[in-house]
A and B are shown apart, each in its own frame.
Chain A
Amino acid sequence: MKLHRWVSLTPVLATCVLLVGLFAFGAASYPNFASVAVVRNLLVDNAFLVVAAIGMTFVIISGGIDLSVGAVMAFSATLAASLVEAHGLHPLAAAAVVLAVGVAFGLAQGVLIAMLDVPPFMVTLAGMFLARGAAFAVHPQSRGVTHPFVATTLNETLSLHLPIGARGVVIPPTVVVMFVLLALAWVLLRHVRFGRAVYAVGDDASAARLMGLAVRRIKIGAYALCGCTSAIAGLLFALYQQSGDPASCKGMELDVIAAVIIGGTLLKGGAGSVLGTFAGVMILGLIQTIISFQGDLSSWWTRIVAGGLVLVFLLLHRGIAVMAGRVARLA
């Protein structure tokens, strides 16, 4: 039924409208807003968030939630910095180690959730504090990264120099990594069995089991993937800050969850997309940008607006669910 189509598309539409609307508002209200520099900064400043949000999208689509993302990011950044600066590992080797640890961490959380039925918020809340404590145990303070591979190769050689805009623009490799991961995640969710199974498990886990899907394994896979992206996000953040700081990324899991919800992913699972998540992160970034352009608004307004937006979208999703039920009864 056509009405049904509209009803299910509404979250995505709302996100797009908001994204475009925000940008238009900014462009209309402030000079220099609609510039290449602003867009570039938006991408650069939020690349690591997008990457973290990719994994969170998988987890939420599968019907779960992961509160440990920020802590794992901080742990990954700190561990990488320590491995490189204190133990002399080559940055790529350090990255490999950090990735492995992130995946293992996600796997462990997934096993507790899927096989032992401990509620996801509890496991990942504990995981958050475990990872945070471990980060401080690795090194109690921020540690700068000065390895030549990072300083020169990553920052300069591998950066893209594009002749766009007045003075040309430099795209650091973090943004490239973000786009690559976005593309991979999109393919995974849309064209690979695992991705389709994640949707199925989140939509109706018991029906999925009856249809023969290995529900537990899929859930564990989603959490392992989230651990992986959180680790990568931590590495990207370390690159962005040129340091590993165990006290960083506090509360970022909430930003990531907010972005995923604003991006149109349903919290109860079964629907969502990484492109929507990307839009969600960009929306939060735009709000931040607008607030800084405004100048006289304190930065914590971002938190309040983000919280408010999440609420609006949650209510929207809830309203859609009720409407869909009514439409189905009429059909």
Chain B
Amino acid sequence: MTLSTPSWHRGLRSLVWPVAALALLLAFNAAFMPGFFALEARDGRLYGVLVDILNHGSRTALVALGMTLVIATGGVDLSVGAVAAIAGAVTATLLVEAQVAWPLAIAEAVAIGACCGLWNGLCVSVFKLQPIVATLVLMVAGRGVAQLITGGSIITFESAPVSAIGNSAFLGLPIPVTMLALAAVGLHLLVRRSAMGLYIECVGDNPVAARLAGIPDRAVMMTVYGLCGVLAAVAGVIECSYIKAADANNAGALLELDAILAVVIGGTALSGGRFSFAGTIVGAMLMQTLTKTLYMHDVSAEIAPAPKALVVIVVCLLQAPRVRAWMAGLWSRGGAA
């Protein structure tokens, strides 16, 4: 059980399964869907199914990065969809009704996302509410707040820079991909270059020991939920940028499911402890590829979540200790009991 390898090597090993699953899915598509891998370059930008996957997958992956940290502390954040809706609503309303400059509008939206996240962190770390319920409250109330902000209607805006976020490219790839790259690098530096990553893993692995070892568990909780809120807000801005409008009712739909699935598939355990950003990103792309595959096989958008949910059940099953022990037993059959 002991591994005599440095941590990055161990990290690569845990990526094997998600990457293999992604490769399998891509191979399936290559076989049954001609043109899946077709890429076309136009006006300095790449187009194609793979690019679409990267685009929308990046939005999910951004939220999933924040979700990874929350799950690593042993919690969960169900409010990310509502926060995304609020962020989109704030952005659109500020742009259209308050005539605010676009950098400020986006900054405010992200700041509000941070506040939502910090509120969740407060409920969990100070009021000691269960994460599911604490974030459920915001999930319920947050949608209402978003609708309140937009006044119940869909607000369209014209701002070119904001719509460029979701609809333009940087270095040939859609901007969300760049944002994901920046966020991933930034978060990696934050958790691996500072002691934050260690604090987070300790709090998730053994909360009692973490407190006795002197880890500032409250501050850690507030930080991870705050970050999750920020990233959810960013995803909300991207989403409203796609359609140049804020739709408080439908924005961020299924976002929490996709984010949690990405984290689980990426190898981070729901009980907390060790986490992997790389695994989460692979998981997000896997989920997006699966979604795209389903769409391309004429599975409607409403039915598509069902097979995704099945995938997640299977993954959770495989992670369950009982199942693991049973499989280990199968493996070693033939040896002495």
The reply, when asked whether chain A contacts chain B directly with Cβ atoms under 8 A, is yes
Q: How far is A128 from B264 in the complex, measured between Cα atoms in Å?
A: 17
> Whose C-beta in chain A lies nearest to the C-beta of B316?
A118
Min CB distance, A253 to chain B, in Å? 10
Q: Which of B76, B127, B147 contacts A318 (CB 8 A)?
A: B127
Q: How far is the CA of A137 from the CA of B298 in the complex (A)?
A: 12
- Distance (whole angstroms) from the CB of A25 to the closest CB of chain B: 20
Chain A min CB distance to B327 (Å)? 13
Q: Which of A122, A257, A308 contacts B136 (CB 8 A)?
A: A257
A289 at the interface (CB under 8 A from B): no
| Cβ-defined contact, B132 with A121, below 8 A | yes
Residues A254 and B140 in contact in the complex (CB < 8 Å), given A112-B313, A125-B257, A134-B306: yes
Segment at the A interface, from B160-168, B199-207, B318-326: B318-326
- A117 touches which one: B76, B78, B141, B320 (CB < 8 A)? B320
A144 contacts partner chain B, Cβ-Cβ < 8 Å? no
Task: Tell whether A133 pairs with B305 under 8 Å between CB atoms, given A116-B320, A122-B316, A123-B313.
Answer: yes
Find chain A residues with CB under 8 A from B321 CB. 117
Hey, which chain A residues are within 8 Å of B127, CB to CB?
Answer: 314-315, 318
Near A by CB (< 8 A), chain B positions 10-27 give none
Query: Contact between B309 and A300 (Cβ–Cβ < 8 Å)?
Result: no
User: Does B143 lie within 8 Å of A246, measured CB to CB?
Assistant: no
Chain B residue nearest to A133 (CB atoms) is B306
> Which residues of A have CB within 8 Å of B148?
298, 300-301, 304
**Which residue of the partner chain A has the closest CB to B264?**
A122
Interface residues of A in 258-316 (CB under 8 A from B): 258, 261, 267-268, 298, 300-304, 306-308, 310-311, 314-315
Contact A306 B140 (CB under 8 A): yes
With both beta carbons as reference points, the residue of chain B lying nearest to A261 in the complex is identified as B133
Residues 284-337 of B at the A interface (beta carbon under 8 Å): 300, 302-310, 312-313, 316-317, 320-323
Chain A neighbourhood of B257, CB < 8 A? 125, 129
Range for the number of chain B residues in contact with chain A? 35 or more
Shortest B326–chain A CB gap in Å is 10
**B48 touches A (CB below 8 Å):** no
Among B143, B145, B310, contact of A130 (Cβ-Cβ < 8 Å):
B310
User: With A119-B270, A129-B308, A254-B139 given, is the CB distance from A314 to B320 under 8 Å?
Assistant: no
The interface residues of chain A lying within 8 Å CB-to-CB of B254 are 129
Inter-chain contacts of B106 with A (CB < 8 A): none
Give bound CA distance, A185 to B264, whole Å.
37
Q: How far is the CB of B223 from chain A (nearest CB, A)?
A: 22
Question: Residues 119-147 of chain A: 1 if any B CB is under 8 Å from the residue's CB, otherwise 0?
Answer: 10111011111101110110010000000
Chain B residues near A127: list those with CB within 8 A. Answer: 309
A154 at the interface (CB under 8 A from B): no
Taking CB as reference atom, which chain A residue is nearest B130? A267
A12 beta carbon closer than 8 Å to chain B: no
Mark B151-192 against chain A: 1 for CB-CB distance below 8 A, else 0.
Answer: 110000000000000000000000000000000000000000
Give every chain B residue within 8 A of A304 (Cβ-Cβ): 141, 144-145, 148
A interface list, Cβ under 8 A from B: 65, 112, 115-119, 121-123, 125-130, 132-134, 136-137, 140, 246-247, 251, 254, 257-258, 261, 267-268, 298, 300-304, 306-308, 310-311, 314-315, 318
Given contacts A246-B302, A298-B148, 10 further A-B contacts (CB under 8 A): A117-B322, A118-B317, A130-B309, A303-B141, A303-B144, A304-B141, A307-B137, A307-B138, A307-B140, A310-B140
B: which residues have CB within 8 A of A?
76, 78, 123, 127-130, 132-134, 136-145, 147-148, 151-152, 254, 257, 260, 264, 270-271, 300, 302-310, 312-313, 316-317, 320-323
